[in-house]
Amino acid sequence: MSAKISQFYMALTMILMLFSIVTLYMAAEAYISGDAEKGNYLMMAGAMGLSLSLLFLTQTRKPKLTLILKPPRVVTTIICEKCGFKKVREFVKGDYIFKKVEKCPKCNEDMIIVSIYKSEKIP
């Protein structure tokens, strides 16, 4: 979606930024050689160019839209109410809180889902 905009603007911005940096370098050289008047002008032009290119850069910066639509990691906690055995796994379509799922590997009782929430990592 933003590829066309970024290619054109990025090229312009980069050229402007490059010129601005060169101008600033020339300003520094002018100051060193004692030509303060020329240095001031170059410094002003360089600062303007750099500000403008930074403004363009911030305007063309787009958030990664695909990230918004990427499903978050959701974890399901299952426990056996009889022996307290606990298992945490990734959410599976069809899971819901208080659903009876698999049998407990320790006491063979029905285990239930007690929590479902989004988490960056499985605890």
Can you give the binding site for other proteins, defined by CB under 8 A? 1-2, 5, 36-38, 40-42, 44-45, 59, 62-63, 65, 68-72, 74, 91, 93-99, 115-119
Beta bridge partners of residue 116, listed in sequence order: 76
How far apart are alpha carbons 118 and 123 in whole angstroms? 11
Shortest distance, CB of residue 44 to other proteins, whole angstroms?
6
Give bridge partners of residue 90 from the DSSP assignment: 75
* Shortest distance, position 88 Cβ to other proteins, whole Å: 12
Q: For other proteins, which is the closer residue by CB, 2 or 108? A: 2
Nearest to 44 by CA among 25, 19, 27, 22: 27
* Nearest to other proteins of 15, 81 (CB atom): 81
Nearer to other proteins, 45 or 83 (CB): 45
Nearest-approach distance from CB 5 to other proteins, in angstroms: 8
User: Three-class SS of residue 78?
Assistant: strand
- Tokens (6 digits) for 122: 């499985």
